Amino acid sequence: MSDHQSTLRANISFVTLGVADLARSRAFYVAMGLEEHASSNEHVAFFEMSGQLFALFPVDSLAHDVGRSAGDPGQGVTTSFSQNVPHEADIDRLLARAQVCGGTILKQASAPPWGGVRGYFADPDGFVWEIAWNPKTRIDEAGRVHLGTH
């Protein structure tokens, strides 16, 4: 595998906001002109921008998935930036690199209930990055991500 798979050189595939009231936030962004993707459901809202996915996820659900409590002072997780990688093995490689570079591993590669595999690290300020391999997304030649495999 080439070295680019162990860097963050690619796009931010997903920006996920942890929201207090999913219905309220969904209504706001739909009113603002974003179009929900068909894979949205009652637990999460997905919007496909040009080559990037934007998601609204209840903040407690996001914090739970990251492995932190939304209520811990200074440890709340309100946003996650994700890089989708083409191979599952890239997750371990990127997490290891983040640790060497001064980041903190929040969750080793493991499988969430919705499929795929993901791990999390925090940068020096505590900003949360998810490294994800997801067979339900497609990564195009420019490194941009699309929901669905076609």
CA quadruple 16, 81, 120, 87: dihedral, nearest 10: 100
Q: Which of 102, 113, 149, 150 binds its own copies (CB under 8 A)?
A: 102
Q: Which is nearer to its own copies, 54 or 138 (CB)?
A: 54
Q: Which is nearer to its own copies, 10 or 39 (CB)?
A: 10
Per CB under 8 A, 138 contacts its own copies:
no
Q: Angle at the Cα of 68 (from 111 to 97), degrees rounded to 5?
A: 65
Segment near its own copies (CB under 8 A), from 37-45, 60-68, 77-85, 108-116? 77-85
DSSP string, 14-78: EEEEEES-HHHHHHHHHHTT--B-TT--SS-EEEE-SS-EEEEEEHHHHHHHHTS-TTSTTT---
Per the listing, tokens 């690619």 go with 10
Tell me the site size for its own copies, rule CB under 8 A: 45
Per CB under 8 A, 12 contacts its own copies:
yes
Per CB under 8 A, 17 contacts its own copies:
yes
Q: Which is nearer to its own copies, 99 or 115 (CB)?
A: 99
Instruction: Give the side-chain half-sphere CA count within 13 A for 140.
Output: 10
Judged by the rule CB under 8 A, the positions of this chain that interact with its own copies are 4, 6-12, 15, 17, 19-21, 24-25, 27-29, 31-35, 49-52, 54, 59, 78-79, 81, 97-98, 100-103, 123-125, 127, 142-144
